[in-house]
Structure 1
Amino acid sequence: MSEPHPSRAHRVGDKRTLFERLVELISPGPDSKDELIETLAEAEDRELIEPESRLMLEGVLRMADMTAGDVMVAAPRMDLLDIDSPYDELLGVVIDTGHSRFPVYEDHRENIIGILMAKDLLKLQRAPELNLRTLLRPTIFVPESKRLNELLRDFRSNRNHLAIVIDEFGKTAGLITIEDVLEEIVGEIEDEFDDDDAPTGIYTLADGSHRVAGDADIEAVNGFFGTELPEQDFDTIGGLIAHELGHVPRRGELAEIAGLRFSVMFTRAGAVRWFKVTRIPAATADH
């Protein structure tokens, strides 16, 4: 028995109307990336693709035009480790920041000599005789102009998750991780600091301080800490702190309001993800 005609087999599963097929034959396909994005939006409207799929496809298209310099963490906001720091100091930085990888420098911040995995630092606790240098992994350097789609391919092939971004003069401009690249495609990626069990976005840490989400409601913050932060002009604590500082908060910046000290722990996409909040001692607050 002969096989069905290929075109006939295709038509059997084709649910488009005759008019839609004619329009497709007459109308040319998208000639630009913007037109392609519009086509994806139309496909979503016609329920041919899911909204999440459209957003991911748009992310892939836009990522092709973005570079490492567009999404990197700028050098002044990088969390670095000093190779000559004592173990307790290194461990404190790891705990406070919560990263899994850290650039390590010697003498000055520009001289990055390797990448330390947080889990490798624990080996020093069990074997203090180890030399920290032996635990360092090679540093990958990329130019600011490196396109994100190329960088993602490199990350996958060399199994590195972090790269140092350098400017045209060879100086450190910032760092970028594979998570930064992927988030341009899939959006926000939940990390180990995200917890659905605390809907207010306020968490108590082991040292008695607190971790507060940047988008936590001011009403929730006031209720938790017993403060009277103004609620009429701002909805979130991140918005209030940005107003107090006069600019978008940067990692490591401090703000003191209503007896509370807010330290910026994490920022992403121009907004604060997490604050570390401690109460200002009464004697200090009175001065």
Structure 2
Amino acid sequence: MTNVISQLCLLEYRMNMTDNQLLRYARHIQLKECDIQGQERILAAHALIIGAGGLGSPAALYLASSGIGHLTLVDDDVVELSNLQRQIIHTTETLGHTKVESARHMLHAINPDVTVHTHAQRADEALLNRLIPTAQVVLDCSDNFETRHLINRLCVTHRVPLISGAAIRFDGQISVFDKRHDDSPCYACLFPPDSNFTNEPCSTLGVFAPLVGIIGAMQAAEALKIVAHMGEPLMGQLLTLDARTMAWHSIELESNTGCLVCSPPLNIDNIMS
């Protein structure tokens, strides 16, 4: 009886997925944790990526190749020669193009079925307030604390899961902040917005090229796990990597009861912009 039910379910999903899709995503479908139902969720999902650089490149490539239905990219920069050492979504032929259009071209070459929305502008509050509520998951692939705190604040406001990644020199980190769960910390619990952090641009400090690939690919993995309802996201954990030794460390995170962003009662007027 179980086999009959499985065959009926497969027939039902065959009506929703084309033969090409069944073949393209066969390796996901073969995973019992994903199966056809999980792949269907991926095909119906919308992910928002802020930043089409070192982290955003592998994240977007893996999301598109995995069949994410809608992918929105936000970046105001253009492709420069120094980007090509690590920003693998761009090519020599797209030098001088906006990063989002360069990325769109590559993503459609990999998977023409993915709908790619692009915004060649800075991720300001007005734009993100419009985009974040439309997404099921947000990937912060930006490179400065101001933008990270803005993204976090709006993800808390709209209760959209946030996957935060960062990489500089040989050091990388990743975590998931999901305020759909009251006990989840937010980015500001870990890095308070009133702290005096200094941005460390890779243009002056450098970054090991494969490191951004590792962290960006992990951001894509966390996004797929969330939208497909499989596995356990990195919520409440900060995973760090020292690429010089390939040493991984996991740090348990807790909500900060004094957090300026997510501690109840949530008063947006009092939150730092």
* TM bracket, shorter-chain basis: under 0.3
Q: Which has the higher strand share?
A: 1
Q: Which has the higher helix share?
A: 2
TM-score (norm 2): 0.27
Larger Rg: 1
Q: Which has the higher contact order (CA 8 A, sep 6+)?
A: 2
